[in-house]
Structure 1
Amino acid sequence: MSVGVPVERIDAAGQASVGESPVWRAAEEAFYWVDIPAQKIVRLHVGTGVRSEWVLPEKVACIAFDRAGRVLAGMETGLFSVTLPEAGGAAGASVTVPSSQVRKLAAPVFPAEGMRFNDGRCDRQGRFWAGTMVQDMSLASPLGALFCFDAAGALSAPVVDALITQNGLAWSPDGTTMYLSDSHPLKRLIWAFDFDVESGTPRNRRVFADLHDYAGRPDGAAVDADGCYWTCANDAGLLLRFTPEGKLDRQIAVPAVKPSMCAFGGRNLDTLFVASIRPGAGATDDDGAVFAIRAGVRGLPEPEYAGAL
């Protein structure tokens, strides 16, 4: 079950405090991710090793792209359209995004102070899904919820509620199964839903995997071309691969103790990029880094937001 495949640390990517939401942009041959507390979107051109970053006006936790290359970002106070200015050609370039290029699209009614969006991505039809959470995880507050932002620009009411630390969004290759997790230590559950691709409605929620039976907490995830679900086992330094039937069939160790989210990329979508978190105490040089893994499987193209930003 444990697979000894090479795990490469991408030194050119630098390190993040809380690296999340990796996205491969095939048109640019570039890998994007965010650093939540630093309020940054980061890009690495894999071929050239050029790294650029954009600083936003508030914490950014999840991103997707539309067909024009604009960013749909889940942030502290809502969902935003972000147009990234040219970062220049120098490695390490940092650009502050002007307020004129950051526009709020929608926001839920947050039931408490100190909340923000967390994990988010598009379904196969191009609707953007993202969940909210109370940022102070020590409160174990079940006030988080999952929302859908459709192609017409409408934000739904809560679709799934009573979440502490929403995570793990992903869809099966045909889009008819939706996955969602709660990574809080008190939960550690991954659910599967039947998903109506026409209406965008998840139904028949059931436990897909209970990580109390394994190691770590289920953080961000990705689905491969075989329909298997890869989750980052935060606090355990592992990637876990579950078959569509919910059976663990593979695990890969990574040097960072807190892998946070993974995404397939590269020209053939055969590289698994893994972002990670740098813990507050006892961090090593690998914590907060980005890793590349040739896991022997291919991924699926990341869907773009189908609406206009």
Structure 2
Amino acid sequence: MPVRVLTPAIEVIGEAKALLGESVFYDATANRLHWVDIPGHALFSTDASDGQTKRFLFPQQAGFVQPCSDGKLLVGQADSIQRFDLRTETAATFIEIEPDDPSSRTNDAVCDLNGRLIVGTMRPAPQGTTPDPVGNFYLVDGEGGKTGLLSGLSIPNGLAFSPDGRTLYLADTPHRTVWKASYDPETGLLGECSVFAKLSESQGRPDGAAVDAEGCYWAAAVWGSQLLRYTPRGELDLVVRLPVERPTKLAFGGPDYQTIYVTSASAHLTDPESQPLAGRLIALDVGITGLPANPFR
């Protein structure tokens, strides 16, 4: 199957710049984008129309942000998940995550069709080294119950669901591997995992992900300067070139969900001078429709 390669026009959204931007999602009710700067301990809330951005600081690294059905946000911290109220600008602890391991932190997250959260944890390592394979995926329900799903990962990432909610995609970034597993959205039970895609060294490493309305899986290829789209059969069919070396996460949004928003890192680049948009929130359109984020309930 021929692989299309696109280099679309890029729009910069707002002035905010992150050291390690991540976890962007589009809030249709407010026409806003919510995203985090992990080492900056920050949550950003950006108006999609004019780019005006509010910045909220947290005491620990902000691993992720996810929507809640009541309009609040879930924000990952190193040892907990916080419920954040944008109106009052206050946070309250919802659940502790690995409180007995001060060396770990939350990373990628996604919600299933019934509003449960799947969240990864990892143990950060010095730049250029691979973290220990002690990362985990947990399932968190609306009552704060926590169940282990998978363990033994270095950087758990790439979480996304198929449109019917019955296939979960997940990745381990340093190992350049994306898996897929059957998933029961009614019970939250995870089936056996199988390799879905393996990225080459030149393609980059799978970071944050999304699934479009056709059921295709998109990976932000960190260190690859591109987005990679795979069909449900695991075949690469589209490459979208980006002006940033370390894209970290993408999300579909806008009134028709055809705008793709991308976060990236501005730290540890091979040539920072050539990437003025690194760390900024950018947008592009390749005529493909995506899906909204599932809210936590």
8 Å Cα contact 2:123-2:135 kept in structure 1 = yes
> What is the one-letter code of the residue matched to 1:211?
L
8 Å Cα contact 2:81-2:97 kept in structure 1 = no
1:89 match = none
1:211 match = 199
Deviation at 1:66, TM superposition (A): 1.2
> What is the one-letter code of the residue matched to 1:167?
N
1:178 match = 168
Deviation at 1:5, TM superposition (A): 4.5
Q: Which region of structure 1 is more displaced relative to structure 2, 201-210 or 288-297?
A: 288-297
1:102 match = 91
Matched, 1:263 2:254: no
- Of residues 143, 150, 164, the one that matches 2:154 is 164
8 Å Cα contact 2:19-2:40 kept in structure 1 = yes
Matched, 1:50 2:73: no
Q: Which region of structure 1 is more displaced relative to structure 2, 18-27 or 207-216?
A: 207-216
Deviation at 1:103, TM superposition (A): 1.8
The CA distance in 1 between the partners of 2:213 and 2:6, in whole Å, is 21
Deviation at 1:47, TM superposition (A): 1.5
The CA distance in 2 between the partners of 1:82 and 1:236, in whole Å, is 33
> What is the one-letter code of the residue matched to 2:159?
L
- Of residues 101, 104, 111, the one that matches 1:115 is 104
Deviation at 1:140, TM superposition (A): 2.6
> Aligned ranges for residues 166-245 of structure 1 at < 5 Å?
166-184=156-174, 187-212=175-200, 215-245=203-233
Deviation at 1:244, TM superposition (A): 0.2
The CA distance in 2 between the partners of 1:139 and 1:146, in whole Å, is 18
1:293 match = 284
For residues 286 and 243 of structure 1, do their structure 2 counterparts lie closer, same or farther at Cα, with a shift above 3 Å needed? same
Alpha-carbon displacement from aligned partner over 1:253-294 (angstroms, at most 9, x marks no partner): 000000000000001111110100112353231211222111
| CA RMSD of superposed structures (Å) | 1.6
Aligned to 2:214, what secondary structure does the other structure show? coil
Aligned to 1:10, what secondary structure does the other structure show? strand
The CA distance in 2 between the partners of 1:48 and 1:256, in whole Å, is 22
Runs ≥4 residues deviating over 6 A:
none
Normalised to the residue count of structure 1, the TM-score between the two structures is 0.89
> Aligned ranges for residues 65-76 of structure 1 at < 5 Å?
65-76=67-78
Percentage identity across paired residues of the two chains: 32
8 Å Cα contact 1:143-1:163 kept in structure 2 = yes
Deviation at 1:151, TM superposition (A): 2.0
The CA distance in 2 between the partners of 1:58 and 1:84, in whole Å, is 18
Q: Unpaired runs of 5+ in structure 2?
A: none
The CA distance in 2 between the partners of 1:110 and 1:165, in whole Å, is 18
1:146 match = 137
8 Å Cα contact 2:34-2:46 kept in structure 1 = yes
Aligned to 2:45, what secondary structure does the other structure show? strand
Deviation at 1:133, TM superposition (A): 0.4
Alpha-carbon displacement from aligned partner over 1:134-156 (angstroms, at most 9, x marks no partner): 11152530110000111222111
8 Å Cα contact 2:252-2:291 kept in structure 1 = yes
Normalised to the residue count of structure 2, the TM-score between the two structures is 0.93
Aligned to 2:17, what secondary structure does the other structure show? coil
The CA distance in 1 between the partners of 2:138 and 2:47, in whole Å, is 31
Deviation at 1:6, TM superposition (A): 2.1
Deviation at 1:214, TM superposition (A): 5.8
Q: Unpaired runs of 5+ in structure 1?
A: 87-96
Alpha-carbon displacement from aligned partner over 1:80-116 (angstroms, at most 9, x marks no partner): 1112246xxxxxxxxxx5xxx3222222336744210
Aligned to 1:59, what secondary structure does the other structure show? coil
The CA distance in 2 between the partners of 1:229 and 1:153, in whole Å, is 29
8 Å Cα contact 1:132-1:166 kept in structure 2 = yes
The CA distance in 1 between the partners of 2:13 and 2:72, in whole Å, is 27
2:261 match = 273
Matched, 1:135 2:137: no
Matched, 1:126 2:115: yes
